[in-house]
Structure 1
Amino acid sequence: MAEGDKLFHLARKALERAHAPYSGFSVGAALRTKDGATFSGANMENVAFPEGWCAETSALAHMVMAGYSEPGCLAEVAVVAPKKDRITPCGGCRQRLAEFGTARTKIHLCDQTGIVETVRLGDLLPMAFSDLPSI
């Protein structure tokens, strides 16, 4: 099984833990570091909208808490949502991913059966607040 496919399955599993009672829009995400460590997360809504957080943010928090915070450590990400095929990270999450990724970090856009398309972070966020390393 390819690394991207493994991430898709981790994101689908994380999706089961989403807390989205207000919007009904659950999202799961999983990421892999350059050395192969994986982390997943789900979105968490709060009644005091917009005080919740996205699935990608949740996965990144797990990654940072495990000691991965150096620029460029993020290799690839998978995102899945049952109500939207080929979901992309929101603008805020694109910038958060840029904090730890590079322009070449793979972003796997998924539907309910697997990866639909893979794009590069630099294509999703061509003008990040700081330059994305090209490595």
Structure 2
Amino acid sequence: MSSTISILTEEEKKLLIEQALNAQLNSYCPYSNFAVGAAILNSDGEIFKGVNVENASYGAQYVQNEVLYALPLVPLANLPYPAAPCGICRQVLGEFGDYPILLYSTKTKDLNITSISELLPMGFSKKDIDKHEQMNKE
């Protein structure tokens, strides 16, 4: 698990959850009715929010947090358990490093803390490409 998880204060965790709940209100999900909100705290202390955006072409939709990266991320959904980012989001988020992911259920108020490396074990990244290139030079 990422060592940055322990850096988060209880106040920061609460604030991130509140901001993700606030963002969830702006979700656009007319097809699945699966509203997702997310909040990210960057290393400068700024919080960015994102939501899922659906359209009739399912392959063209994505969660806005795919394009955001920082230290902790809080995706949330109205399920009886904390929801995790989808596989595509995990891969995109993993491009920016291993950092805490706070998974939160709006129904039960349960909070699970994990990391990118736990959500995407053996993920493919630039280090794999670099290793491949290095092997081809030898």
The interval holding the TM-score normalised by the smaller chain is 0.7 to 0.9
Alignment of 1:1-135 (within 5 A): 2-57=11-66, 60=68, 74-102=70-98, 105-112=99-106, 114=109, 116-130=111-125, 131=127
Whether contact under 8 Å (2:81, 2:110) holds in the other structure is no
Whether contact under 8 Å (1:106, 1:120) holds in the other structure is yes
Report the CA distance shift for 1:32/1:40 in structure 2 as closer, same or farther (over 3 A). same
Q: Give unmatched runs, 5+ long, in structure 2.
A: 1-9, 128-138
Paired residues, number: 117
TM-score with structure 2 setting the length: 0.76
TM-score with structure 1 setting the length: 0.77
Q: Give unmatched runs, 5+ long, in structure 1.
A: 64-73
Whether contact under 8 Å (1:27, 1:55) holds in the other structure is no
Q: Take 1:83 and 1:43, find their aligned partners in 2: how far apart are those partners?
A: 15
Deviations 1:106-125 (A, max 9, x none): 10010116451101211111
Q: Take 1:114 and 1:32, find their aligned partners in 2: how far apart are those partners?
A: 20
Report the CA distance shift for 1:93/1:84 in structure 2 as closer, same or farther (over 3 A). farther
Identity %: 34
Q: Take 2:34 and 2:50, find their aligned partners in 1: how far apart are those partners?
A: 14
Whether contact under 8 Å (2:101, 2:114) holds in the other structure is yes
Deviations 1:3-47 (A, max 9, x none): 121111111011000000011111011111122111011100001
1 or 2, which has the higher helix percentage?
2
Displaced runs of 4+ in structure 1, greater than 6 A? none
